[in-house]
Every structure is written in structure tokens, then in C-alpha cells.
Amino acid sequence: MIGQLAANFPGSTWDSVPKGSFNYGAGGVNSWRSICGGPNGGSALLAQLGAPTAVKDEFNAWYERNLFPSNGAYDDFAGGTWTPGGSATGGWGTASNMLVPPRTGAPQAKPNSLLCHASHARWEEAAGGYYGNWFQTAPAANGGIAGAGGDRCSKLVYDCVKKLCELINDWKAGTLPTGALDPSATAAGCMNSSCHNGATPATAARPVNGKMKCTDSCHQ
């Protein structure tokens, strides 16, 4: 996206932004499994573009509730007009790594969280675990067992970039999303519950702030 912004607006600041600026986000920031690189890099881009809060919230809330990965990357590949690792990739990666195609029919899971750890673990659970069928039968052409997780996250990036572009194009065309948060993160949910805004301060937990989904993530 940085490359496109640079190409679309020559001479702008985007022209001088290193295209790998957000690569650190992979694996939840240098493999720390904190915030997923999708919402991380996407939020940074939206901030630099000056996007309204509704757009930013929509992107993150969509990530929480969306089933990842979609089969979009595979469908695109199967359409025959895209060979991953083709000339469009420029200097990214190496040829041998770039030619791994998307695998079709991957198990899907809702992250219910922005955290890489939760997002990936939920997907891995849906996939039957590391010793489950999806991992163990991963074709060599898709990177084998070691490539199963990478296949999922590559396709998740495809999905996130697609959504992000759509949101930005819509916003620039004058259409704003609702930016609705997960119900649990609203004043009608946990924020104003007896737990966090109780009438008896001595027994209620302290008020909290945040926009993340509360239930089915950290709180069960």
C-alpha cells in the first residue's frame, strides 16, 4: 500500500517512506505475539492518512469478528492472472520463498482479539492443532508442515490489505463505516456492567477503558 501511495502521489511524503516500514509487525511485533501485524500496520497507515475514528475502529472491529483466512487469495491465484512472486514483487523476499502459492480450503477462525497470540492460536485450534490433519498433510508445494501457519498468515494479510484499501477508498469517496465496536466493549456491555461500574465501589472492579472485544477473548 505504501508503494501504491507513493506511485499515486509522487512527490508526497509517501514517496520517501520505506516500503518495509511495518514489516516489524509480523508475528505480533517481531514474533512477540502481541498485536497482529494486520491491525498494527493498518492502523499506522490510517493514522498517517488522517482517517476518521470510524474508519480506524471499523478496521480493528472487523478484524476481531472476521473469519480468517478467507479463500480470497487462493481464488485470486486460481483465477490464473496472478502468480505470487511475479514481477510485481520487486525486491521483496527471495524467488524460492515468493513462489509458494496459497492453499485452498484452510480452516477458519475468528480472532476475537487483536492479539496475534489469540488470533493464531484460535485458528490453530480450528485447524486441529499442530499435530492435526491440516498441518500434517500440508503439501510440500505449500511449504509443508512448517509452512501451514505462514500460509494462513499470508492469506490473512491479503484479507486485511483488501479490507483496508476498500475502507480507505470508500472514505475518500465520502462513505464512512459505522465503526461499531463489539457489543461487549460498549457502554451497554462490560464498560457499564456491575463489574466495572458497579454501585458498590468496594466490591466492583475499577472502571476500565478500551475498545477491544471483552468476551470470548480475555474474559470468558
Contacting positions for another protein (CB under 8 A):
1, 3-5, 8-9, 12-14, 17, 20, 23, 26-27, 31, 37, 47-50, 72-73, 76, 82, 84-85, 88-89, 92-94, 97-98, 100, 102, 120, 124, 130, 135, 143, 145-155, 157-162, 164-166, 168-169, 172-173
Q: For the CB of residue 153, give the shortest distance to another protein in the complex, in Å.
A: 6
Using H for helix, E for strand and C for coil, what is the string for 70-100? CCHHHHHHHCCCCCCCCHHHCCCCCHHHHCC
How far is residue 110 CA from its own chain's centroid?
Answer: 11
Secondary structure (3-state) at 167: helix
Residue 147 Cβ vs another protein, minimum distance, rounded to whole Å: 6
Buried b (16+ CB within 10 A) or exposed e, 15-26: eebeeeebeebb
DSSP summary character for residue 7: H
Least separation, in Å, of the C-beta of 84 and another protein?
A: 5
Nearest to another protein of 84, 179 (CB atom): 84
Nearer to another protein, 46 or 190 (CB): 46
C-alpha cell recorded at residue 213:
472485544
CB of 90 to another protein, least distance (A): 9
